[in-house]
Amino acid sequence: MTTPAQGLHTHVLDTLGLEIAAGEHPPGQVLRTDELAQRFDVSRTVVREVIRVLESMHLVESRRRVGVTVRPTEAWNVYDPQVIRWRLA
């Protein structure tokens, strides 16, 4: 059984992952966590968890005082099943 928090996390992760893979957020673009939280109507904690997952796939890089930066396609973990699914979508 999934909790509402897991549902929100999954929704935000899939949406953001698809957008990055589709090129809607080009490499070098800075994503702000507070704007993402407002856009998806979720807490900043949910956004931070999603960012951690995207970082583990090397899709984004988080740096203090800069924000979350989308990484170039060459840096992505292209063997991750979710990244494969997002790129094929």
Domains assigned to the chain: 4-88 (1.10.10.10)
The fraction of the chain above a pLDDT of 70, given in percent, is 93
Give 87's contacts (C-beta < 8 A, 6+ positions apart).
Answer: 21, 78
Distance CA 18, CA 53 (A): 14
Task: DSSP letter for 42, please.
Answer: -
Distance CA 28, CA 78 (A): 18
Identify the pLDDT of residue 1: 38
Q: Is residue 7 a contact partner of residue 1, using CB atoms and an 8 Å limit?
A: no
Which pTM value belongs to this model?
Answer: 0.88
Query: Residue 4: pLDDT above 80?
Result: no
Which tens digits make up the pLDDT trace of 41-84? 999 999 999 999 999 999 999 988 888 999 999 999 989 999 99
